[in-house]
Structure 1
Amino acid sequence: MIDPLFDADDDANTPLTPAEREGLIPTYITTRAELNAAEQENIAEADEWAFTRRRGSILDVDVLMTLHRRMLRRVWKWAGKPRQTERNIGVPAHQIEVALHQLLDDVRYWVEHRTFGPDEIALRFHHRLVAIHPFPNGNGRHARLAADALAVELRQRRFTWGGASLVEAAETRKAYVRALQAADGHDMAPLLAFGRR
């Protein structure tokens, strides 16, 4: 079975540019499976950091960027840095910083004024963060962990995200993408259901 390192395995992954591919740190990685394993090991450490950090809300740009850096810092040189290239998803690269600040301002308003329930605030945050697509890769994983951190800040449980690994369970990943697409059309119900399934 062929396991190409950089070929996207479905349309839900964002391909890296050649320059971004050169940012791969471990020299032993030659397959997608090895890359996924290395990233997951790093993400597990970031997960622990996200829920034991003493200061800073996830609703801070620096904390968001640090979270991504901690998730992928041993795998990618560009971890925690905004993408510099255009994608078929996300805001133009030069608008990332402004879009992140607008998102965080909106979410702080929602929290302060209880515009939505806590789960919906965290999932709207997740959806918009994915839509901004601030990084070359790892945006969905970053946005899920950030939404979990916000849910905990709002005194809620972490989300289940479909109850299976989105990397390993193709049907769960498809359901996740469909829920995001529904949210693109302003229907949050599928994402709210998926988040707690």
Structure 2
Amino acid sequence: MIIDEPEGTTPLDPDDMEGLKHPHVTTREQLNELEQSNILAGQQWVSGISGLTLDSIFSAEFVLALHQNLFGDVWTWAGTTRNKELSIGCDPFQIRPKLHNFLEDAKCWVEFKHFSNLELSARIQHKLVEIHPFPNGNGRHSRIFTDVVRIVLLEEPPINWAEGNLEKVSEERKAYISCLKEADKGDFTAFVKYLENLGN
């Protein structure tokens, strides 16, 4: 059982925990350390892919493969969509169609420059979190996915998402979660301002 869950974190239930490949882990801090090591390996995997395009990035296959490579050393269910309802995210049976619709929309956002690059980044990251495709790791996956879009398609540097660690309890995490909640209502003003204040 993982303890010390920060605000806004998707709780890990016993079914999720059965997929943990490291049974000695008992705290969120220990889990974050393991996952961070895996995430670094996943980022190396992404950087080694040649020929990424608008269509290949905005595909369900890439979304799932990215999660698998970011978390697959820690969780057996990495890269698979969740099969149960959570307090956040759509119903499990809606994940695939909503993900498809989002990816098609996002291709248009990029191709036709519907938004500034910073608002585009906020919208992509928020929408993936809103769908919440996976049992866990959605926030980190969505931020890294957004950075891939920025680097490959926008020729922009990755986002500086926080001064500290957004996976830990902090005032910064509270501000970030507050921005996501405003974005849930369709207002991205606070989220864009939050990112601007971090030097993006």
Fold conserved (TM > 0.5)? Answer: yes
Alpha-carbon displacement from aligned partner over 1:109-160 (angstroms, at most 9, x marks no partner) = 1112111122222221111100000000000011011111111121111100
Partner of 1:19: 15
Between the aligned partners of 1:94 and 1:45, the Cα distance in structure 2 is 31
- 2:28 and 2:110 map into 1 onto residues whose CA distance is 39
Q: Is the 8 A contact 2:150 2:157 kept in 1?
A: yes
Q: Provide Cα deviations, 1:38-91, integer angstroms capped at 9, x if missing partner.
A: 011001111222233213342111111111011110110000100000011101
**1:129 maps to 2:125:** no
Query: 1:44/1:32 Cα in 2 relative to 1: closer, same or farther (>3 Å)?
Result: same
* 2:57 corresponds to: 58
Q: Which residue of 2 aligns with 1:174?
A: 174
Could you list the runs of 5+ residues in structure 1 that have no partner in the other structure? Answer: none
Q: Which residue, out of 2, 9, 26, partners 1:6?
A: 2
Contact kept? 2:109, 2:115, Cα under 8 Å: yes
Contact 2:147–2:159 (CA under 8 A) maintained in structure 1: yes
Task: Name the structure 2 match of 1:90.
Answer: 89
Distance 1:109 1:70 in 2: 27
Aligned counterpart for 2:44 among listed residues 42, 48, 52: 48
Unaligned runs of 5+ in 2: none
2-structure distance, mates of 1:20, 1:134:
14
Q: Matched residue pairs, number?
A: 193
**Distance (whole Å) between structure 2 residues aligned to residue 67 and residue 169 of structure 1:** 26
Offset of residue 108 of structure 1? 0.6
Moved more, 144-153 or 187-196: 187-196
Q: Contact (CA 8 Å) 1:179, 1:190: kept in 2 or not?
A: yes
Any conservation in 2 of the 1:126–1:144 contact (CA below 8 Å)?
A: yes
Moved over 6 A (4+): none
Matching residue's letter, 1:29: V
RMSD across aligned positions (CA): 1.5
Alignment correspondent of 2:146: 147
Indicate the structure whose relative CO is greater, using CA pairs within 8 Å and at least 6 residues apart: 2
Q: When the two structures are superposed, what TM-score results if normalisation uses the length of structure 2?
A: 0.90
**Structure-2 change in CA distance of 1:178 and 1:39 (3 Å):** same
One-letter amino acid of the counterpart of residue 30, structure 2: E
The answer for the alignment partner of 2:105 in structure 1 is 106
TM-score, length-normalised on structure 1? 0.91
Matched, 1:28 2:27: no
Q: CA deviation at 1:8?
A: 5.5
One-letter code aligned to 1:14: T
2:88–2:132 contact (8 Å) kept in structure 1: yes
